Structure 1
Amino acid sequence: MKLGVVANALQNKPLAEALIQFRRLGIEYIEPGCGGYAGKAHVNPQKLLQDDVAFASFVEMVRKSGVGISVLSCHGNPVHPNQQMAKAYDRDMRYTVLLAEKLGIDTISCFSGCPGDSKESKYPNWVTCAWPDDYLTILAYQWNDVLIPYWKEFTEFANSHGVTKIALEMHPGFCVYNVYTAHRLRDAVGDAIGVTFDPSHLLWQGIDPVMAIRNLNGMIYNVHAKDVRIDPYNKAVNGVLDTRHYSEELDRSWIFRTVGYGNDIKYWKDIFSALRLIGFDGVISIEHEDSLMNQMEGLEKAVRTLKESMLSKERTGMWWA
């Protein structure tokens, strides 16, 4: 396994400076944001595709840094009920695919998206229960009329440009948010659909990350390392479905933490062992969204924890037998 980072952790710095900082920490790969919610602070695919000089300069900068690019990230909502917003997210994703093709990268990381409850909707509607039956009607519309047709067409486009792996981050608020929904979309669309495995979005839902990994065998195309801390008092009072703003750390049932500050080292060792058991030995990208730490402290502590817990050498099998 290789040590990576979601480059938006230093999105306030120019890419050249961020690469120096990442390399200093021992980070080997970046996952740059190419649009959507994360913006284009470091990489603007449309500009790079339209300017050969800018593209060559970008490639040379990354090469000289000694840091590689693992996947391209573009997390938006391409099935948003607001058609202007949906088109903007979709456009960013398609430019991301085209840039990946030019860079020789076969994977992009994104969200599945979430439609509204009907063609007349203004906002996404994330359904979390099966009754009253209205919610099942909404789900049928979202999946059958919007989500599956969109991803069938998009994966055809991506495949035609050499991007054969669409790593959907299982994130609450979007239609693919757990193992079942990831399998459901893959079964409907095809093997191009896989996941970006981020345990922080699963644990607070009550999902065991190791069991999720084993049930996603062959589907994990990308991995994020982000931790979450579940507050036992707030959870005992209000459960885990928490709509308080992320800044209300004291009162929320859970908050994101940097690696090692939500769960102990054994938790991470178990995750990396499970990943190796299913054959994933790719890049583990730190995603630092810990509001209790500054940018560099959170990265430094995450790097130390991952260096201790990751399986970074090639396996040798049962060498003692």
Structure 2
Amino acid sequence: MSSIDALKPSGPKAKSPATMKGPGLFLAQFAGDAAPFNSLDAICGWAAGLGYKGVQIPTWDTRLFDLEKAATSKSYADDITGLVASHGLSITELSTHLQGQLVAVNPAFDDAFDAFAPAAVRGNPSARQAWAVEQVKHAAKASRHLGLTTSVSFTGALAWPFVYPWPQRPAGLIETSFAELARRWVPIFNAYDEAGCDIGFELHPGEDVFDGVTFEMFLAAANDHPRCNINYDPSHFLLQGLDYLSFIDIYHERIKAFHVKDAEFNPTGRQGFYSGFQPWIDRAARFRSLGDGHVDFSGIFSKMAQYGYESWAVLEWECCLKHPEDGAREGAEFIAAHIIRVTERAFDDFAGTAPDDARNRRLLGIA
């Protein structure tokens, strides 16, 4: 069976309906130099006060977290766990989005992405890549020390400059790029396997893996590695015109994390999905705070519950209009209101009867 066939729904669902955890908050967009956003202790207190139950930690922000120390010191990891728990919170996942981006960078973006790396490796793509790989592997070990079973990241991109097929792509270009992307990631997947941790990729324009088809291509090139999974974020799918509800039907077994982020698409006679190089506020396709966009979250939360997703619903706040603190406050309420507490019994159990094989056979006319 091919990797694509394996992703198609067939037969009974592998998991029963489940109630997910949340709300969680991705801290990356809120961390800063001013209190309460400049330390893990203070930002956790702020998040808990808004009603959050978990925090997703950006591993590149040393104001909040020391990734290498968490990978090498179980006692440090225990201290972090205890600090977060002191606010009534859990750690949902560690994020290596920026480091994952640097695992694969097309030369066209070398200068732009150098800012994600420490000064010592800037201007040196091979050294930068080696640093990024080590960082993502550190996150596997740190996750194990923290008792986490999922981490979230980006794949990086080699083929992205060729996303639109003009000029015509040379034969074999895309196959070569995905083979190379998998060659770089498989050793990282193996490190995650040793740590007992999945890695969920945010399928995002700018990455080579940005939709279902490209995820299938990557998965096939990585020999269906069990640690290669998805961080589901519907905002990126709405802005591509992808059916984000059917996506859950197809890929639910690979969805290990969930970014709850809204978006809207308002095409005009002047611009569409690509939005004409406009700033975010002037784009037809743009991100919004939860509840202000076009994403059908009632449908999403229903499907995630149906397919037994029981991990975290984590707000990733991005909006070109609303103040982030208002978005965070409203986001906690929005997620809490959408989480479905799964029923433990059928609604028509009151009319049920006890098992009776003889009666069943009579009803079916079986001698």
Q: Residues of 2 paired with 1:73 and 1:314: CA distance?
A: 28
Contact 2:58 2:95 in 1 (8 A): yes
Deviations 1:152-190 (A, max 9, x none): 221112111222x11011001111100111122223322
Note the 1:113-262 alignment, pairs <5 A: 113-115=156-158, 125-130=160-165, 132-134=167-169, 136-144=171-179, 146-163=180-197, 165-189=198-222, 190-233=225-268, 236-242=269-275, 244=277, 248-262=279-293
Task: Say which SS state the counterpart of residue 330 (structure 2) adopts.
Answer: helix
The offset of 1:309, in angstroms, is 2.0
Which amino acid is the alignment partner of residue 144 of structure 2? E
Q: Residues of 1 paired with 2:343 and 2:65: CA distance?
A: 35
Task: Say which SS state the counterpart of residue 16 (structure 1) adopts.
Answer: helix
Contact 1:126 1:175 in 2 (8 A): no
Which amino acid is the alignment partner of residue 150 of structure 2? T
The number of residue pairs the alignment matches comes to 301
Q: Residues of 1 paired with 2:48 and 2:133: CA distance?
A: 32
Q: Residues of 2 paired with 1:184 and 1:249: CA distance?
A: 30
Q: Residues of 2 paired with 1:249 and 1:171: CA distance?
A: 16
Which amino acid is the alignment partner of residue 17 of structure 1? A
Q: Residues of 2 paired with 1:259 and 1:251: CA distance?
A: 19
Task: Say which SS state the counterpart of residue 86 (structure 2) adopts.
Answer: helix
Q: Are residues 1:100 and 2:143 paired?
A: yes
Q: Which residue of structure 1 lines up, in the alignment, with residue 91 of structure 2?
A: 69
Q: Which residue of structure 1 lines up, in the alignment, with residue 343 of structure 2?
A: 315
Change (3 A) 1:107 1:231: same
Structure 1 stretches lacking a partner, 5+ long: 118-124
Q: Which residue of structure 2 lines up, in the alignment, with residue 122 of structure 1?
A: none
Contact 1:96 1:108 in 2 (8 A): yes
Task: Give the TM-score, by structure 2 length.
Answer: 0.76
CA RMSD of aligned residues (A): 2.0
Q: Residues of 1 paired with 2:174 and 2:257: CA distance?
A: 27
Q: Residues of 2 paired with 1:52 and 1:80: CA distance?
A: 32
Q: Residues of 2 paired with 1:135 and 1:317: CA distance?
A: 57
Q: Are residues 1:10 and 2:30 paired?
A: yes
Task: Say which SS state the counterpart of residue 156 (structure 1) adopts.
Answer: helix
The offset of 1:62, in angstroms, is 1.2
Task: Say which SS state the counterpart of residue 69 (structure 1) adopts.
Answer: strand
The offset of 1:132, in angstroms, is 4.1
Change (3 A) 1:281 1:58: closer
Contact 2:204 2:236 in 1 (8 A): yes
Structure 2 stretches lacking a partner, 5+ long: 1-19, 107-124, 350-367
Deviations 1:52-97 (A, max 9, x none): 6644432221121110011111013212252233223222211111
Task: Say which SS state the counterpart of residue 134 (structure 1) adopts.
Answer: coil
Q: Are residues 1:27 and 2:27 paired?
A: no
Change (3 A) 1:225 1:135: farther
Q: Are residues 1:286 and 2:303 paired?
A: no
Which amino acid is the alignment partner of residue 218 of structure 1? E
Contact 1:126 1:174 in 2 (8 A): no
Higher relative contact order (CA 8 A, sep 6+): 2
Change (3 A) 1:104 1:54: closer
Q: Which has the larger radius of gyration?
A: 2
